[in-house]
Structure 1
């Protein structure tokens, strides 16, 4: 007990020193701090450095060393190995991720950040994971925060947050080159590097390109011809350039530019697949200053998107400005206050005749973290968002029932997070949390306008609804973490989450008929409520002899109260959410050899499909067990060769969803690091 108390005191002192020195999430030396405390360290939740065991939320931290051991080629593949994370692989580049719920097409409830910049697409609030301008070799760590986090992390973080942090060149020079080649014409290359130039300037650059055959299509989906249009190859090219400059010991400046060009197959929110082409650019700048008034951060970013969906093109942009102050009021109290402004605009889509539309948002937020004593602390956070929508032109009155004035609408909502962390004398940490998250309407929800010729001169309209309400997500959770022995750790949680006014797309029945609308209209709308309850448990061991192992299990039960008629909406969380998820990993390292094996189990589900518009069917999907391996040999201090076997037990393509059949993939990786 005395040793534990001493280590806790040292950890608290060191992290307090890091905070007082003005260390942000991007500046923190994660490697050295994690080695010092024997567990990962983060500054993502409160803004101040914390050990993983002290974070006021249920968080997974995936380290650089763990990322290197996976037989995976992208981030969704890595996330599928962790408890409470649902991943559905619809196509080679379309892996959708959700937390504690079905990973449907265009999953719109997960906030994804790269170095603090939002990379989820504001058009529908989803993440096209293959477009992320980051290479696996340059990731410092991936933080997965479960449950609504709107007040702590910001806009639309209602199912959780994935925060991706890249390596900081201020903490050491590095350079990596990786080439992959494998089955199904998969090949890829990535280049990453970081270097400090003089005492005050550091640069990070990365580039990646890859291509592969797409998965075989699910034969029960009638629109296979649309999916195959334009070829069946996945193609990706991304890059990033970042500069960090230390103006003084207390002031620093950083800037970053990224681009992504991706063409791939994907499954959308109405279970209707197609081929999409993405051209994305982003710009980000940040100024940090350690002042007498606290640690102040001023940041801005701009995301530009040109997306050619199967149903039409979309051009949009978003500008975000944020000012934050993190204040150590006393040795026991930390306060964070922030204001944010964003301006988002989209060209009229898919019908280009209705005028640009978009919104502005003004947000204010505050957080208070208080340590009652060495064994009990509390975190309270609240955020208020005021969103103002508008449209520049009058929609075609012969097709659409809404006028320009209908889009002049304001939405005001409050979100909160509350947490108590208790460390009993018996050991471990007990975490009780409550949260309210707000999922605001997206550009699809509000402004989508598409006329569809059904033949014979009969036209219907597919459109967003400017009167749609935000979805409100509330979550209650009790978690327990502890070390069972010097080499074995336990993490467990039980949770209940409710979503009111679920936002859903059009289904198989119209929402508006003449004379209430000029033509038969199918709209985005609030479709009802749903809730999920469940439990998670993870055991991890690091015994002697170079062995590592971990197992996790997740149970979920879902209850929908959605539209009364199944054909009215393709939403069906009860059917599409697996009740049981289980993962296991066993690894061994001896000298230059590293071998890892992974198993992933997903229980049976029923998934909707809309192969032909208006025909929504439920397809039974059997339970799945996937086994993957990776074996690596370190030739010398700089060169490593690895054989990766993903889903190695799949003799034939497996039906895991109603779009693309998952396959076994094998590839060789050749990596050089300096």
Structure 2
């Protein structure tokens, strides 16, 4: 399923210019409000226990990017927005590829971060991770991004090991009218349109489309690259209040991404029904279908996958007894994966149908004087690869006074094997020259295995939140993670093979021969000296200790600790220079990556926005302003060739009417 906007991008950009000439009423623009620290603390989030709770009361390392944060950042993609999250390691490998993770184990195919949009998982079972180059939506329609640094498996299930990201989009009623935006820069350009209208007496709808192009980042040691990115997407959302106690939401989109390698195309649709009972109990039913196609490699190494996913979940929240708030649910997910290989790569079996059954329960218990709260939860799943998995958690929160919260948690989480680890088989092209032996070429062969076990984590966390005044806030999170059964890629001894022709073969097979520990802390300080000033500083430190089994032959196992920065820091400042002029700057420090022999670097991004009229905003955006280029990540396993990340400048124009 491919949809392309290559021929439509000029129409999109032309529409920007045409609509700018329209005369519209100033009061038709919904003003974006800067939240005070008190309002931010009172913001309701549901990412921890899957029920609404105050951000200040969350017994986890939770962070929220608001719509205002997104707008004022000047960023044009979701991976860039995650740079703003304290404690997240976000490294750009080239124009399209990213290495994104938290609390260790980063890489192009990082597999311990669960990512969702409106509660729908977007990770691929091919490698248990996210194709960040294809993960996109209209950023202006995002209400907030909720993030957990740490496990969230007792609520969300497998792969929510080191963190959870849930992107929550706005209801259609909040995006009425039109929006047109365009970006023009020396390294990227694109445009977007959106229109929202009423849908009957009790409903609202919106439709939108966007197009984006990024030029290749310069290759290391050269000014030429081959990693350009072209991405197009179109979607809709509708929301209806069917009755005073029933609501229905429908949304979906189509997307096409060409990042030189891979190309990804597909679409999805999701329905959600919510009901409020007379007792105050709530029911929610979600059903989604997704269809995607992946193509990677070329020639004799070409491989493609067609993936169909059906996901359904029912949740019920009620108060069974005094002091108890119970939330439980059932889920079922069905996959059909069809892989078409080539002369060198493929899958055995080529087609596989597999599913996942799950149930979860969360109970928040109010203890002494309504200041102590205990949350007990567990997610129980059954998958076709490792069978039953149980992921419990215990969270304790103490609020000695309204401005102070202390919390602690112990959790278990698992990362289940992916189809790539079980089924993919492949062979590299012949290595010639010095790689030959006795006149015969040497090749590397990868083989899947059904003996893979789930990676496991036992996590110990503690945190402290303090708001001594309406202008100052402090958030500290400490963690110690104990991992076992971590994935390794075991190499066999070189062997002679005569089929289909004589050559030396080294086989690589996945196994679970690594364990390790990570520990560290995140500190976030917010200061709002005046209504027009916002300052935030954060610092993160992490240490990794990895212990390969004595039987392991994986040469990269111990090196993983040198692929994640031990220290990171950020300083974000936003100031309204006048009623029409706003300046935002973001400086970030990223420590060295010893395994890649990459030095630490300091980067600076800035946005200067001028509101020409209440409904028209013009912004000048600069990224990586301190250096012409820098490298953020190295040559990881199976990832593309790293590139220099160049300084860039762009102009962004936005019209709402």
After TM superposition, the score normalised by the length of structure 1 is: 0.83
| Residue 58 of structure 1, CA deviation | 1.2
Cα distance in 2, alignment partners of residues 327 and 353 from structure 1: 46
Distance 1:218 1:511, change over 3 A: farther
Cα deviation digits, residues 533-587 of structure 1 (max 9, x gap): 0011111111116111110000111101125699724342211111110000122
1:157-172 map, 5 Å: 157-171=160-174
RMSD: 2.8
Could you tell me which residue of structure 2 aligns to residue 623 of structure 1?
600
1:604 pairs with 2:581:
no
Q: Tell me the residue number matched to 2:185.
A: 182
Partner of 2:564: 577
Q: 1:163 to 1:174 in 2, by over 3 A?
A: farther
Instruction: Using the TM superposition, give the Cα deviation of residue 423 of structure 1 relative to its aligned residue in structure 2, in angstroms.
Output: 0.8
The correspondence of residues 105-116 of structure 1 with structure 2, limited to 5 A, is 105-116=108-119
Which residue of the other structure, out of 648, 651, 656, is the alignment partner of 1:665?
648
Query: In the superposition, relative to structure 1, how do residues 628 and 355 fare at CA in structure 2: closer, same or farther (>3 Å)?
Result: closer
**Cα deviation, residue 513, structure 1:** 6.4
Find 1:649's aligned residue among 626, 635, 644.
Answer: 626
| Distance (whole Å) between structure 2 residues aligned to residue 431 and residue 655 of structure 1 | 34
* Counterpart for residue 515 of structure 2: 529
Q: Per the alignment, in what secondary structure is the counterpart of residue 501 of structure 1?
A: strand
**Structure 1 residue aligned with 2:219:** 217
Q: CA deviation at 1:466?
A: 1.1
1:595 counterpart (567, 583, 606): 583
Aligned mates of 1:423, 1:354 — CA distance in 2: 54
Q: 1:154 to 1:34 in 2, by over 3 A?
A: farther
8 Å contact from structure 2 (residues 110, 129) kept in 1:
yes
| 1:653 Cα deviation after fit | 4.3
Query: Do the aligned residues in 1 keep the contact of 2:91 with 2:632 (CA within 8 Å)?
Result: no
What is the distance in 1 between the residues matched to 2:354 and 2:205?
A: 35
How far off its partner does 1:177 sit?
1.4
Structure 1 residues 316-356: Cα deviation after superposition (integer angstroms, max 9, x where no partner):
22211211111133463211111111111211354267431
Residue 434 of structure 1 corresponds to 410
- The reply to whether residue 546 of structure 1 matches residue 532 of structure 2 is yes
- Compared CA separation, residues 232 and 451, structure 1 to 2 (3 A): closer
Aligned partners of 1:368, 1:513: CA distance in 2, in Å? 56
From the superposition, tell whether residues 175 and 430 of structure 1 become closer, same or farther in structure 2 (CA, over 3 Å).
farther
Deviation at 1:44, TM superposition (A): 3.0
Q: Of the candidates 303, 315, 319, which is equivalent to residue 310 of structure 2? A: 319
Question: Among residues 366, 370, 374, which one is paired with 1:378 in the alignment?
Answer: 374
Asked whether 1:130 is paired with 2:133, we answer yes
Matched position secondary structure for 2:91? strand
**Residue among 332, 339, 342 paired with 2:323:** 332
Relative to 1, partners in 2 of residues 1:635 and 1:566: Cα closer, same or farther, differing over 3 Å? farther
Cα deviation per residue 1:586-614 (whole Å; 9 max; x = unaligned)? 2210210000111110111124xxxxxxx
Where 1:134 maps in the other structure, the secondary structure is coil
Instruction: State how far apart, in whole Å, the 2-side matches of 1:49 and 1:548 are.
Output: 26
How do residues 198-597 of structure 1 correspond to structure 2 at under 5 angstroms?
198-218=200-220, 231-264=226-259, 275-291=261-277, 294-310=281-297, 311=301, 312-330=303-321, 332-350=323-341, 351=346, 354-372=349-367, 373-389=369-385, 410-425=386-401, 427-454=403-430, 461-504=445-488, 506=489, 509-510=491-492, 520-544=506-530, 546-562=532-548, 568-571=554-557, 572-589=559-576, 590-597=578-585
Distance 2:214 2:584 in 1: 24
d(CA) in 1 for partners of 2:451 and 2:493? 13
- Is the CA contact 1:326–1:335 (under 8 Å) kept in the aligned structure 2? yes
Structure 1 residue 386: Cα displacement: 1.0
CA spacing shift, 1:193–1:430, aligned 2, 3 Å: farther
Retained in 2: the 8 A contact 1:200–1:245?
yes
Q: Deviations over 1:270-319 (max 9, x none)?
A: xxxxx210012112122222235831112111222211112421222221
Give the CA deviation at 1:192.
3.0
Query: Secondary structure of the residue that 1:660 maps to in structure 2?
Result: coil
* Partner residue of 1:633 out of 601, 610, 613: 610
Question: Residues 605-639 of structure 1, C-alpha deviation per residue, up to 9 Å, x if partnerless?
Answer: 124xxxxxxxxxxx300000001111000011100
Distance in 2 separating the partners of 1:486 and 1:245:
37
SS, match of residue 79 in structure 1:
helix
User: Compared with structure 1, are the counterparts of its residues 588 and 243 closer, same or farther at alpha carbon in structure 2 (3 Å cutoff)?
Assistant: same
**How far apart are the structure 2 equivalents of 1:575 and 1:191?**
43
Mapped contact 1:134–1:206 kept (Cα < 8 A): no
Residue deviations 1:352-398 (CA, integer Å, cap 9, x gap):
67431242211121110112233111211101111125xxxxxxxxx
Unaligned runs of 5+ in 2: 1-31, 432-439, 636-641
Aligned residues: 594
- Report if aligned partners of 2:403, 2:468 keep a CA contact under 8 Å in 1: no
Deviates more, 1:414-423 or 1:424-433: 424-433
Structure 1 residues 318, 655: closer, same or farther in 2, change over 3 A?
Answer: closer
Residue deviations 1:426-482, cap 9 Å, x none? 841001111101111111111112244537587653122111000001111110011
Asked whether the equivalents of residues 511 and 522 of structure 1 are also in contact (C-alpha less than 8 Å), the reply is no
Give the match's secondary structure for 1:137. helix
Distance 1:522 1:46, change over 3 A: same
Equivalent of 2:91, from 88, 92, 95?
88
User: Is the CA contact 2:125–2:419 (under 8 Å) kept in the aligned structure 1?
Assistant: yes
1: CA distance between counterparts of 2:275 and 2:526? Answer: 39
When residues 453 and 131 of structure 1 are mapped into structure 2, their CA distance, relative to the original with a 3 A threshold, is closer
Structure 2 counterpart SS, 1:77: helix
Secondary structure at 2:140 match in 1:
helix
TM-score, with normalisation over the residues of structure 2? 0.85
